[in-house]
């Protein structure tokens, strides 16, 4: 104890009330009360999932390369998705979008103008009719809606829930609804096109200017698409989907789409006109209610930050009046606004892309360090981690097994364990991820970019090995692919069944172990998830080439918080890898390994 240098101060303290000491929050945990939001979402691109054709000709037509149908997603397929551990299926690309394919002879729409389409099949995010489904996905084009409705019922009958896209920010330049219900006025039908902006216009205009299609668009490479002549007519030009207020968008813009007007005057310092309720708000509410009444269970909402949060604050409660348990999942990328979109916007869940996904990607590719994971739960999503949807793949991101990402699909083992178990929010896998699909080849418009195309007709080769001609039994998978898929199945099923993962508290062990000479804090990451009924220790090794033999320390006060007596011996059972219990936590962590130990007092 230091010598007291100021006796007068001691005298003063005798007459001064001493304040209660400030108890700092434990920096290794969060004060969030976990919510059980452990949805396990299986995303599939509906056009690709059931396609059995293996030709894969670049820029191929639907006749050459084939396409998946609603009916290809059979009871057997859905049962296997459920066995993998999924609770929800996100059917991506269902709503009718602009395409070069001609369905007129089958009683459907004709082809769209190739000047304003990306890819032979077209982007499923360039919506042509919000009230219809893509004719590509139907066996009988005339009964395409009934085929989708049957898929919804079939999915429910197999114990799974249905998510679908809602694309609120932009539509195809050719947008015209042929399937809209009676009394519905089409988007733009009553717009005052002489005005650049009007509160009740559905689109933004550039009066006196005509659209100039980018010459480098080249949607089919050396081939020519229908009406591909650079002469697409749009007068006055409309603003382009990615907030480009120019009659001549660039080839790098979303030139195939036009932006919807939600009452924000972008060219007048973003002045807002939200009262009375803008016409676009009402039209989009009606579209959401239309699909909610089809008995879908939720919407993945595209690019929500490009639409004013005030719209979401109004529309989500409106839709939940019709279907109270329907969920809204937001594609969001600005951590500074996460809380706004959850609290004000009423979203149920948000993407955790720029936080956990990006941190794990750096670790998977040999960079970064585990401190970035700490930053995610401690700062970016502190207080609402249960609301963050976590993933390693989706249709926008590069495949783990691609040369553009990690090449080796096994790098997902530690990263996917963290993705699924760090918090009690939802987790997602993308069809083909579980068998190491590498997205090789230049499919057409999308080029070879490490992603599975959303613009072209294509078969997904490694996924097709699992599909095995519609048997959905993995009959053509290699042994290593079977092992990878088995890992995903064990992890996702454990994620859904474990009380501690679904709703347990979280405690990071990095600080407790950072002085251990064998604990590689940059590449090894460990934490606890626990409830009164279950206690789990998660340990992963991100290193591609180094085996680690750390000694894991669980502080005495944390053992007490978990309900473990300080001096009582415990057993450790690895639930992920199905190994028998051991009394001694002597760890050998091979490269790219992961473990989830259940801790129990000895004798229980």
- Mean pLDDT (the chain) is 95
- What's the whole-number mean pLDDT along residues 250-256? 97
Dihedral angle of Cα 352, 355, 357, 361, to the nearest 10 degrees = 170
Question: Is a pLDDT exceeding 90 seen at residue 216?
Answer: no
Residue-wise pLDDT for 94-123, tens only, equals: 999 999 999 999 999 999 999 999 999 999
- What's the whole-number mean pLDDT along residues 154-180? 98
Question: Is a pLDDT exceeding 50 seen at residue 579?
Answer: yes
In this prediction, residue 14 carries a pLDDT of 36
368: left (phi over 0), alpha (psi -120 to 50) or beta: left
Question: Is a pLDDT exceeding 50 seen at residue 7?
Answer: no
Query: Using omega within 30 degrees of 0 as the cis cutoff, is the peptide bond preceding 142 cis?
Result: no
Question: Is a pLDDT exceeding 80 seen at residue 6?
Answer: no
Report the Cα 580 to chain-centroid distance in Å: 35
132: left (phi over 0), alpha (psi -120 to 50) or beta: beta
For residues 109 and 136, the answer to whether their CB atoms sit within 8 Å is no
Question: Is a pLDDT exceeding 50 seen at residue 22?
Answer: no
- What whole-number distance in Å separates Cα of residue 517 and Cα of residue 509? 15
Question: Is a pLDDT exceeding 90 seen at residue 292?
Answer: yes
In this prediction, residue 20 carries a pLDDT of 52
Question: Is a pLDDT exceeding 90 seen at residue 562?
Answer: yes
Residue-wise pLDDT for 517-535, tens only, equals: 889 999 999 999 999 999 9
Residue-wise pLDDT for 311-345, tens only, equals: 999 999 999 999 999 999 999 999 999 999 999 99
Q: Which residue in this structure is represented by tokens 């626990």?
A: 530
In this prediction, residue 17 carries a pLDDT of 44
- What's the whole-number mean pLDDT along residues 501-522? 93
- What's the whole-number mean pLDDT along residues 177-200? 98
In this prediction, residue 518 carries a pLDDT of 87
- What's the whole-number mean pLDDT along residues 482-489? 98
Indicate the angle between helix axes 479-497 and 75-84, nearest 10 degrees: 70
Residues 6 or more apart from 187 whose CB is under 8 A from it?
A: 130, 171, 175, 177, 202, 203, 260, 280, 283
- What whole-number distance in Å separates Cα of residue 112 and Cα of residue 171? 13
- The model carries a pTM of 0.95
Q: Where are the beta strands (DSSP E) in 39-81?
A: 40-45
In this prediction, residue 568 carries a pLDDT of 86
Q: What percent of the chain stands above pLDDT 90?
A: 93
Give kind and range of the element (H or E) at residue 529. Answer: strand 524-530
Give kind and range of the element (H or E) at residue 206. Answer: strand 205-206
In this prediction, residue 584 carries a pLDDT of 87
Tokens linked to 90: 């996100």
Question: Is a pLDDT exceeding 60 seen at residue 268?
Answer: yes
Residues 6 or more apart from 190 whose CB is under 8 A from it?
A: 200, 279
């Amino acid at each position: 104890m230091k010598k007291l240098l100021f006796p007068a101060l001691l005298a003063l303290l005798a007459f001064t009330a001493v304040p209660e000491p400030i108890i700092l929050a434990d920096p290794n945990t969060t004060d969030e009360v976990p919510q059980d939001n452990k949805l396990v979402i299986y995303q599939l691109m509906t056009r690709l999932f059931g396609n059995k054709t293996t030709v894969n000709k670049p820029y191929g037509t639907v006749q050459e390369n084939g396409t998946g149908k609603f009916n290809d997603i059979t009871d057997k397929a859905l049962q296997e998705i459920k066995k993998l551990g999924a609770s929800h299926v996100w059917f991506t690309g269902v709503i009718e979008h602009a395409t070069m394919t001609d369905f007129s002879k089958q009683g459907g729409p004709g082809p769209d103008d190739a000047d304003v389409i990306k890819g032979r099949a077209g982007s499923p995010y360039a919506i042509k009719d919000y009230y219809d489904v893509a004719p590509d996905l139907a066996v009988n084009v005339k009964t395409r809606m009934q085929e989708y409705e049957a898929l919804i019922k079939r999915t429910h009958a197999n114990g799974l829930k249905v998510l679908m896209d809602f694309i609120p920010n932009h539509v195809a330049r050719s947008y015209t609804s042929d399937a809209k219900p009676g009394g519905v006025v089409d988007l733009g039908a009553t717009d005052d096109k002489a005005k650049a902006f009007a509160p009740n216009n559905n689109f933004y205009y550039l009066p006196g200017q005509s659209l100039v299609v980018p010459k480098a668009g080249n949607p089919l490479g050396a081939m020519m698409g229908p009406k591909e002549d650079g002469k697409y007519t749009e007068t006055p030009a409309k603003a382009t989907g990615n907030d480009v207020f120019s009659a001549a968008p660039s080839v790098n813009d979303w030139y195939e789409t036009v932006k919807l007007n939600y009452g924000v005057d972008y060219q007048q310092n973003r002045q807002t006109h939200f009262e009375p309720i803008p016409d676009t708000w009402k039209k989009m509410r009606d579209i959401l209610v239309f699909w909610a009444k089809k008995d879908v269970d939720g919407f993945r909402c595209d690019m929500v930050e490009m639409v004013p949060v005030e719209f979401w604050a109004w529309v989500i409660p409106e839709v939940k009046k019709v279907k109270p348990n329907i969920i809204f999942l937001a594609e969001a990328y600005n951590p500074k606004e996460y809380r706004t979109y959850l609290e004000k916007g009423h979203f149920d869940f948000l993407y955790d892309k720029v936080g956990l996904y990006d941190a794990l990607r750096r670790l998977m590719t040999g960079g970064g360090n585990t401190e970035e994971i700490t930053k995610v739960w401690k700062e970016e999503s502190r207080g609402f981690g249960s609301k963050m949807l976590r993933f390693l793949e989706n249709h926008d991101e590069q495949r783990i097994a691609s040369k553009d990402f990690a090449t080796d699909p096994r790098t997902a083992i530690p990263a996917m364990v963290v993705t699924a178990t760090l918090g009690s929010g939802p987790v997602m896998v993308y069809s083909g991820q579980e068998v190491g699909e590498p997205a090789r080849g230049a499919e057409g418009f999308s080029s070879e970019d490490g992603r599975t195309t959303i613009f072209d007709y294509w078969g997904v080769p490694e996924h097709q090995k699992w599909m095995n001609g519609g048997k959905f039994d993995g009959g053509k998978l290699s042994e290593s692919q079977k092992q990878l898929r088995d890992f995903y199945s064990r992890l996702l099923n454990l994620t859904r069944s474990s009380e501690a993962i679904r709703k347990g508290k979280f405690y990071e062990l990095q600080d407790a172990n950072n002085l251990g000479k064998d604990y590689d804090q940059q590449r090894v990451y460990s934490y606890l998830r626990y409830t009164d009924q279950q206690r789990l220790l998660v340990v992963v090794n991100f290193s591609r080439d180094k085996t680690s033999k750390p000694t894991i320390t669980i502080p005495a006060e944390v053992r007490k918080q978990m309900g473990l007596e300080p001096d009582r011996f415990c057993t450790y059972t690895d639930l992920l890898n199905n190994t028998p219990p051991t009394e001694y936590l002597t760890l050998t962590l091979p490269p790219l390994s992961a473990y989830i130990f259940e801790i129990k007092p000895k004798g229980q």
